[in-house]
Structure 1
Amino acid sequence: MPITLENIGIAVRDLEEAIAFFTDLGMVVLGRDTVRGEWTETAVGLDGNHATIAMLQTPDGNGRLELLEYIHPEAIETNPTLPHEIGMHRVAFSVDDIDEALKIAATHGCHPLRGVATYQDVYKLTYVRGPSGIIVMFAEDLTKS
């Protein structure tokens, strides 16, 4: 059976804040909507499901994020995910210039968890804590220079 990745869905505290972060990094908003009703309750498995959503895409068209801000039921705050926890780990992006990506992230108050590392002279990598506590990885391919 052929399978392709459609998108990654992330519930966020503030949809506008999350959209601003990801679009400043270069993603494009494909569409926005408010979803509710029986079809979404059935698909998601959550009674009374009502959310505003935005679908974003990477400029190359290969990656999509669906950001969701729940209206009902009320969103549940959780502790920020740690890199070694079981479950959703992080969203990773290839970037041409990791320093530029970090400058953009900093304008949103998002900074590396520790710093920038180099992996075998192949990648410069870092994790930042993005909006709503999302861990976002930036990777710059050093072999493309």
Structure 2
Amino acid sequence: MHFPVSPEVAFDYLADPVNRPEWQSSLKGVEDIDGLVRVGQSWIDVTTPGLRPRMETTELDRPRRWTERGTWRMVTAELTLEFAPAPGGCEVGVQMHLEASGLLRPVGPLLTRLSPLAVRSDLKRAAAILAKRYPA
């Protein structure tokens, strides 16, 4: 996914949970943010369907790589974004993995296949927001 800003600008915007409701379509808000952006930072995503996963930053290598893990009941999701310089800005790569246990275990692989579509749509929104804030 192309972002028309530097890797540092894209990284700082996407890694900060305060910004998430602006670009992530499934969120109404975030709560209980545990301090500044860092490994171990945690927060709660308040989703439109009413789910409230506990999120945590598990990897932070500014401006190259950022990973978060979210848990809600029997589902754990991990999202990694990788940032690389590119002409006119940067490229943001996405890796997503979901695991489900109990009765939800059979839907884990399906969710893993479908989730990147939603993430890419949200990243397009984020790229458009940053393009307006930082016009070339």
Question: Same fold per TM (> 0.5)?
Answer: no
**Bigger Cα Rg:** 1
TM-score (norm 2): 0.31
TM-score (norm 1): 0.30
Higher RCO, Cα 8 Å, sep 6+: 2
